[in-house]
Structure 1
């Protein structure tokens, strides 16, 4: 091997450094620098989650969030608007006060469900009773008048408030197995108990209301310490409240042992009639192909047991921050970069389905959609959603992402088309290449998905910052790519019956919701 002179070696090193400098992308570097040195995530999270709060469709907070986002984009010199897609039952949550007043006094942890009727400014005090285990629906019909003037418990008594992982860590195997066996038997017995009433869990509250109950009391435990799912009420005149497992179990045991517990409930809420519902849309106009679109996507609405921090505050923050950064370091994209903050995803992808239905001119010219909606964690999964050639362009774009962000991401190609779950599915059904930036779990399903614990403190800002960088770089690469993305679909495998796989169908949104 010929030994290089000092001059030759120096020239080689300089040439190598210049080559490396030439391969570095200043836009990618600018995105990373802005995201790490001038992040707005914490400020945005505080304004959205702490100040505005949860964003139940039809609530004043949802409208406030729409207006806030438009103002924020305009502050960043990004044109934005609220685009009406429908109407929804307007409902405004008030304070919930729930106390046990007999056989002793104790404040209880609980809240009314979304769309629950109020107690009309009054405090309602009544005995708490349990749905009995009766022979059949005839026996239940005879018992039903006895609910008049009482609060009725409609959830089973959970045998433990400890999550299974806590049992696995500390219990003997015999004790853990015994608990699970007893819990399974108890769950099966409760399911049969409800079935024998002749009603379902959904229709039973209406029957209790018609019979004159003072209110419906439930507890939808989310299988973690101190955490419950908070969904919507089905009663029209009496309040429906959810009480935390620990307090619900206390009331249940007292009622079961004949100590006739009483609770007082004051549930404030306000009906606002039908109100307009919106998607918030903002865009950075393309300079070369403005009629072609790269879409950043996240639903804006939430349930309102917490503040919707990880479902989908973090997805919203990711896309807002990505747009802010792109406007600063990539202000003249080749294709138009549009962000959609969709309404009423939680009730069936309604906002995004309406956008797909209302904008065929955009849908046919989509280069790619990137959606984020499953918690605070860094992105670790990306599927081709059944698009045959997704591998070609997604991996090409991913190659420009910093290794620390790209390395944990598992890809699946061509993958299978998502039929629901989040807003990317609205676009996939229409044949547009749309992809879910799926996140690391962080106990999402148990602790924050639709729960009373989905709050600001659960956000892992380092992960969200990583996701904003990823979304911005992928949008930049999709915009710059000289080639239009292929929409060719893969042949789907047969189902369990041997029938050919079918691509998900386009579904129309519910444009008037919350009313019968």
Structure 2
């Protein structure tokens, strides 16, 4: 009878807990679907503030905006300084071909590129020649003085492969791929014979008197280029669209000698402080244990950083807003980190891990989202032996509608990089990536000039905010503290050495100055 009584008690308490969870999940979904703030937040962040390059005024504006937004929701928030960076502000870039005819060209400065000092610079365009070796290149190098120099290969097609596969014949597609491989190999050898790399060649050209470096980093899709940082220190580095770069390349190769005019009005702002934005809902019964939301706040600035990582930012902000409204007194403290300088090496999150050992040792779980606008379709256990247990239990409370495409991989392997969850995994924290489906992320929006508000799929982002809020709630309510026991990593097949857990890496605390 006693055993029967306790069994009834257990069944009753389980049913009560399940009912409580169901009520909370319903509240989360109701608020997320009937009062979504995602589009408003997205418009303010992507359109109003824009890209968030580390060290730029827009990055600082975004940090201040996030603190103000959290404060308006009754959530305590702060900007936490972790380092310093080269301050740089993008200005107008205007590029025109003036000979053999007039045409405005599509292009922009790379990040941290020097300006043209308030002037329009007009000069001939020349091409890196195919010379015998580095000695011949050194003899040729003085001829770049006063010229714009093209340093990228000319793509044989501006059509992505899927377009060829859909409309081309098999023979023409294979012929194009063969030609592209040959051109790529030849160009790689051409650059190698200069004695420089893609990184050091622009510096050699500016030191020899070139007035600018012109490149095209095509992303294998219609109208998309990757926009990263410049290596030049005295003259501008310009990225042109595939179409306009190809025009200049072909004209130059044909001996027509095109001439272009460039005005680039970027501004140097000295050394500026860099921050993480951290917001908090204090725990009621276990305030010194933490459940974390995580997303990097910075971006490259070819577009407006919409899917890398505006969407991850929106997911975490919306989840925090909802939880503050429907779950204002969590058992554990809920923290969200919006990290700076992820794009230069996870610097903001690595600094947080280094600066807050008291939090790191008491994190129940961390959920990070980074890779685009799509629905979350994968969660890996990151090498934590018992992740299947607690992640499985928490996911069991998520309605099937919000996890129907979600796969889990346990125990998985620890991530050594890629996004900010890896900073925490290295410190032994159960930190997990909410990995999204593609939406052609790699080609069309990852670090490109087309990563803008219109690429956001808000139904998917809303799905992710609901999933995240439920996981955070369940992690807060769990009576048990999560296990940090790790798997034994397999032997490295290349070296024959036992597998090693990723080591903690120190952040770069003063960057962009060398």
Report the TM-score when normalising by structure 2: 0.96
Mapping for residues 243-258 of structure 1, pairs under 5 Å? 243-258=240-255
Mapping for residues 451-490 of structure 1, pairs under 5 Å? 451-490=448-487
**What are the superposed Cα offsets for residues 253-279 of structure 1, whole Å, 9 maximum, x if unpaired?**
000000000110000111001000000
Local SS of the residue matching 2:219: strand
Indicate yes or no: 2:89 matched with 1:92.
Answer: yes
Deviates more, 1:295-304 or 1:20-29: 20-29
Residue of structure 1 in register with 2:147 after alignment: 150
Does structure 1 conserve the Cα–Cα contact (< 8 Å) formed by 2:373 and 2:439? yes
Residue of structure 2 in register with 1:79 after alignment: 76
Residue of structure 2 in register with 1:126 after alignment: 123
Local SS of the residue matching 1:104: coil
Residue of structure 1 in register with 2:322 after alignment: 325
Indicate yes or no: 2:505 matched with 1:514.
Answer: no
Residue of structure 2 in register with 1:291 after alignment: 288
Indicate yes or no: 2:58 matched with 1:61.
Answer: yes
Local SS of the residue matching 2:311: helix
Mapping for residues 55-454 of structure 1, pairs under 5 Å? 55-454=52-451
For residue 404 of structure 1, report the CA deviation from its aligned partner: 1.1
Local SS of the residue matching 1:217: strand
**What are the superposed Cα offsets for residues 145-200 of structure 1, whole Å, 9 maximum, x if unpaired?**
00000000000000000000000001111110010001001000000000000000
Partner Cα distance (1:174, 1:386) in 2: 46
Residue of structure 1 in register with 2:10 after alignment: none
How many positions carry a matched residue from both structures?
A: 499
Runs of 5+ unmatched residues, structure 2: 1-14
Partner Cα distance (2:266, 2:111) in 1: 9
Partner Cα distance (1:168, 1:192) in 2: 29
Runs of 5+ unmatched residues, structure 1: 1-17
Local SS of the residue matching 1:222: coil
Local SS of the residue matching 1:221: coil
Partner Cα distance (1:20, 1:318) in 2: 27
1:504 counterpart (499, 502, 508) = 502
For residue 498 of structure 1, report the CA deviation from its aligned partner: 2.1
Does structure 1 conserve the Cα–Cα contact (< 8 Å) formed by 2:21 and 2:397? no
Indicate yes or no: 2:22 matched with 1:25.
Answer: yes
* RMSD of Structure 2 on Structure 1 (CA): 1.1
Partner Cα distance (1:298, 1:188) in 2: 38
Deviates more, 1:371-380 or 1:492-501: 492-501
Change (3 A) 1:172 1:354: same
Partner Cα distance (2:284, 2:241) in 1: 54
Change (3 A) 1:419 1:275: same
For residue 348 of structure 1, report the CA deviation from its aligned partner: 0.1
**What are the superposed Cα offsets for residues 407-439 of structure 1, whole Å, 9 maximum, x if unpaired?**
211100000000000000000000000000000
Report the TM-score when normalising by structure 1: 0.96
For residue 25 of structure 1, report the CA deviation from its aligned partner: 1.4
Partner Cα distance (1:395, 1:375) in 2: 24
